[in-house]
Structure 1
Amino acid sequence: MSTRKIIGGYDRSAGAQDAATWALDEGRRTGAPVEFLYAYEWPVWAPAASMVPATSVWPDEETDRAIRTMLREAVAAARTTHPDVRTAISIVHASAALTLIDRSAGASLIVLGCRGHSAVAGLLGSVSTAVSAHARCPVVLVRGDAAATAPVVVGVDDSPSSHAAMAFAVEQALARRVPLHVVRAWKPVTGLWEETAMATRTVTATERRPLDELVAAWHEKHPGLEIHAEAVVEHPATALTRAGLGAQLLVVGSRGRGPVRGALLGSVSQHLLRHAACPVAIAHESKA
């Protein structure tokens, strides 16, 4: 049973409600409490040419009351649908991205919706990309619909975050009691070498060996888990988008680099956040 909370961005939009349901389902599986968070920051108003800092026009008490009422309604609904999941609410007057990244250090999971209008839930821009790249726990962007019997799909390569993705995917597949589909994709040779003998468009036994060894190692740890491995010569974004069509969760590593404001996330991860047909989880390598 997990004691680290799941944090979900919430703004009452359809995307946020989908994310709330996903987070509550995960809380029921793991025993983790779920916190509904609304973060927003308002500009500070000051007269032109003023040399004295002015107070903020926002937020005011009425705005906070309305937000708190909205979050309490979400908690009340959760008590009806998921009575065994502990819930809490949080309102933050600060940057949504920086708040979520900071709080991720003490969370087991961050869950965001794919649509919405608040500073937290649903933005496929600076907030969701920055949080996905720099959070210290897995981040799930909830999108699409999938059958509960569908497999978990994970994309792997040789990066440290890929190993974290595999571990998270195994955990999810075991908890959901579904098969795990592992995809390793090599980009096709293009340009000058495309029409030479070097471009075989097939995966050799030597190239595939690390994938088979990875799958064998995890199967040895969890012999009851059904694992399927797929090695293809195809752009990883294309291969994983296709695999996600029949998945209930698609897991990849972040491969994020750079400062938070740069919001850098691997190109494959960015593509999946926008185009996958099912929820996408971005995993991170351990900082320990």
Structure 2
Amino acid sequence: MTTRRIVVGYDRSDDAKAAAAWALDEASRTGAPVEFLYAYEWPVWAPTASMVPATSIWPDGETDRAIKDTLNTAVADAKQNFPAVRTTLSLVYADAAVTLIDRSAEASLVVLGSRGHSAVAGLLGSVSAAVSAHAHCPVVVVRGQPAGGPVVAGVDDSASARSAAFFAADQALARRAPLRLLRAWKPVTGLWEATPLVTRQVTSTERQSFDELVAIVRDKYPGLEIVADAVVDHPADALAKASATAQLLVVGSRGRGAVRSALLGSVSQHLLRHSACTVVVIHNA
């Protein structure tokens, strides 16, 4: 069992509560402690006219108490529903994305809701893009309603594909669910689209690296039910379709380098917005 904590970006929103439930369920299987984190920047502003009273540049006592009450309630609910899971809470007056990325260096997972009331869980904006792209551990974006179905891993020839496949296999094994490994090749468009050269079929040469990865996963997880699909479709569309019947969708990232910016690739960005199920973004080891 792992002892590295699971960090949950938490506020009072329903999506944050769904993220907490996902994290606690995961922790109940792995033995990891769960940290409820509320991070935000208090607006720092002062009027130019000296005769106008300036607003406070630090949270007032009422705001502070309200946030702590929210976190205490989350921890109390966690202890009632998951008594074996160790929980802590943190209130940080700092940039949410920077704080979560920093916390991820010592975490096994960062778990976030798809939307929320605060920057921590406002997942479809800059915070989600930055955390998902630059975290040092897998980032879980909880979407949709908990359901059955397979765990789906979207793979390609990138360095993170194997890590995504293994993470998905571990999740499938723990959840007693089948694993679906999905590789999609973009269809040919434009000038060559209507020529006889385009068969819209994946050739054995094209899928060789995919077949090799599937063989590795089958060898490492001999008791796991594995389905391997090679399709001609845009990867974002293929994975979004697969999410409709999946309980978890796992994809790799393009890394954490500054040159690659705070944004993920177009496929990951699309899935963070449009997946019907929870998405996990895996980073290169």
What TM-score, normalized to structure 1?
Answer: 0.93
Contact 1:163-1:285 within 8 A present in 2 as well:
no
SS in 1 for 2:218: helix
In structure 1, what is the Cα distance between the partners aligned to 2:140 and 2:226? 22
In structure 1, what is the Cα distance between the partners aligned to 2:38 and 2:254? 27
Contact 1:146-1:247 within 8 A present in 2 as well:
no
Deviation at 1:185, TM superposition (A): 0.2
In structure 2, what is the Cα distance between the partners aligned to 1:263 and 1:56? 31
Size of the aligned set, in residue pairs, is 282
Contact 2:12-2:117 within 8 A present in 1 as well:
no
Match of 2:147 in 1: 147
In structure 2, what is the Cα distance between the partners aligned to 1:256 and 1:270? 14
CA offsets, 1:202-222, max 9 Å, x none?
Answer: 001111222122111111111
Match of 2:214 in 1: 215
CA 261–211 in structure 1, closer or farther in 2 if over 3 Å, else same: closer
Structure 1: which 5+ residue stretches go unaligned? Answer: none
Contact 1:257-1:264 within 8 A present in 2 as well:
no
SS in 2 for 1:45: coil
Structure 2: which 5+ residue stretches go unaligned? Answer: none
Deviation at 1:259, TM superposition (A): 3.0
CA offsets, 1:183-204, max 9 Å, x none?
Answer: 0000001112212233221001
The answer to whether the aligner puts 1:246 opposite 2:245 as a matched pair is yes
Corresponding letter in the other structure for 1:177: R
Deviation at 1:45, TM superposition (A): 2.4
In structure 2, what is the Cα distance between the partners aligned to 1:56 and 1:224? 60
SS in 2 for 1:207: coil
CA 82–131 in structure 1, closer or farther in 2 if over 3 Å, else same: same
Contact 1:7-1:109 within 8 A present in 2 as well:
yes
In structure 2, what is the Cα distance between the partners aligned to 1:18 and 1:146? 9
In structure 2, what is the Cα distance between the partners aligned to 1:125 and 1:55? 27
CA offsets, 1:30-88, max 9 Å, x none?
Answer: 000011110100222234289xxx99522223211110111000110111111110001
Contact 1:15-1:122 within 8 A present in 2 as well:
no
Contact 1:241-1:275 within 8 A present in 2 as well:
yes
In structure 1, what is the Cα distance between the partners aligned to 2:147 and 2:196? 43
SS in 1 for 2:200: coil
Contact 1:272-1:280 within 8 A present in 2 as well:
yes
Contact 1:117-1:123 within 8 A present in 2 as well:
no
Corresponding letter in the other structure for 1:183: L
CA offsets, 1:122-154, max 9 Å, x none?
Answer: 421100111011101000100112424x11000
The answer to whether the aligner puts 1:184 opposite 2:206 as a matched pair is no
Corresponding letter in the other structure for 1:235: H
Match of 1:173 in 2: 172
What TM-score, normalized to structure 2?
Answer: 0.94
Match of 2:69 in 1: 69
